[in-house]
């Protein structure tokens, strides 16, 4: 299946270190060779880079690793296609607008026959994937429930958690969603996270010969949370999320979490 990577931080931070490890899994140390994408938020704006080529061989991915774009919210995905052809329109992450903000979503897993089980009206997919269809369905449900009145963060993302649980009943549904302020993660089977804050130490990537001393790159007030399908470093303690568990992060901190009602 695919792999996810995301970041939530309280100060603009680059994700070059983590992305350097993940991109090697896209056709080098891993089989996820069917495209990749990454979205960075800068204020209310965002910029995305996508490529249907394997990330380990993509000149655009190499550019991203060498171009320290600083952001408080990032979503990244490397793809192993199982629904929809290998093409730019089927490459995650997917971005749509709601309530005057860009929402970005990436999915790891497969949903069985979701096109026939669920209906959508307002948000129509561009590509063919079950992943994008699920995103459009999720946004439809938010629109139907709240209309033009955006609720507070906790209420909104608790509702998204309930929608994620419903989607998860159709297969495997590990996701990352962000509106540039909050970053939401829902786990079915594989999702890990780590929060880095003072006192900072060193870390070494699993998939590349690279080490960083975060103490030299940060201040004592920085808080950075990284979420990944599998841990990216071999000398830090990552937290593995359980089935049906979700976390909501804002400015690097977990502000809400929960689990499926039957777990």
Instruction: For 2-28, write each residue's pLDDT tens digit.
Output: 899 999 999 999 998 898 888 888 778
Q: How far apart (Å, rounded) are the C-alpha atoms in residues 73 and 188? A: 22
Instruction: For 133-175, write each residue's pLDDT tens digit.
Output: 999 999 999 999 999 999 999 999 999 999 999 999 999 999 9
- Percent over 70 (pLDDT), the chain: 98
Inside any domain, residue 237? yes
Residue-level pLDDT at 1: 64
Q: How far apart (Å, rounded) are the C-alpha atoms in residues 248 and 263? A: 19
Residue 254 has pLDDT above 60, yes or no: yes
Alpha helices (runs of H) in 3-128, residue ranges in sequence order = 16-24, 59-66, 114-117
Inside any domain, residue 263? no
Number of CB atoms found within 10 A of residue 152's CB: 8
CATH of the domain at 249: 3.60.20.10
Give the pLDDT mean for 120-128.
95
* Catalytically annotated residues: 2
Q: What does the DSSP 8-state code read for residue 36?
A: E
Residue 259 has pLDDT above 60, yes or no: yes
Q: How far apart (Å, rounded) are the C-alpha atoms in residues 28 and 204? A: 18
Instruction: For 216-245, write each residue's pLDDT tens digit.
Output: 888 999 999 999 999 999 999 999 999 999
pTM above 0.75, yes or no: yes
What is the pLDDT confidence band of residue 263, given thresholds at 50, 70 and 90?
Answer: very low
Q: How far apart (Å, rounded) are the C-alpha atoms in residues 149 and 91? A: 31
Count: domains in the chain: 1
Boundaries of domain holding 11: 3-258
From start to end of 109-238, where are the E strands? 174-178, 182-186, 192-197, 202-204, 211-213, 223-228
Inside any domain, residue 172? yes
């Amino acid at each position: 299946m695919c792999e996810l990577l995301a970041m939530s931080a309280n100060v603009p931070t680059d994700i070059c270190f983590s992305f350097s490890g993940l991109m090697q899994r896209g056709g080098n140390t891993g089989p996820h060779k069917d495209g990749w994408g990454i979205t960075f938020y800068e204020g209310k704006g965002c910029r995305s880079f996508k490529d249907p080529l394997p990330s380990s061989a993509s000149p655009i991915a190499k550019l991203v690793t060498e171009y320290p774009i600083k952001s408080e919210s990032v979503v990244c995905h490397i793809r192993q296609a199982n629904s929809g052809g290998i093409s730019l329109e089927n490459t995650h992450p997917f971005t749509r607008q709601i309530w005057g903000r860009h929402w970005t979503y990436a999915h790891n897993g497969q949903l069985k026959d979701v096109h026939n089980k669920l209906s959508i009206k307002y948000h129509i997919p561009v590509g063919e994937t079950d992943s994008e269809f699920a995103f459009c369905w999720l946004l439809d449900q938010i629109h139907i429930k709240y209309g033009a009145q955006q609720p507070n963060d906790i209420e909104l993302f608790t509702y998204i958690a309930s929608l994620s649980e419903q989607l998860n009943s159709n297969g495997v549904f590990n996701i990352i969603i962000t509106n540039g302020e909050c970053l939401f993660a829902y786990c079915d089977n594989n999702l890990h996270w780590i929060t880095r804050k003072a006192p900072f130490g060193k870390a070494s990537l699993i998939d590349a010969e690279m080490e960083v001393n975060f103490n030299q790159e940060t201040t004592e007030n920085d808080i950075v949370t990284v979420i990944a399908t599998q841990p990216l470093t071999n000398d830090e303690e990552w937290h593995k999320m359980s089935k049906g568990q979700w976390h909501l992060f804002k400015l690097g901190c977990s502000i809400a979490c929960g689990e499926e009602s039957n777990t």
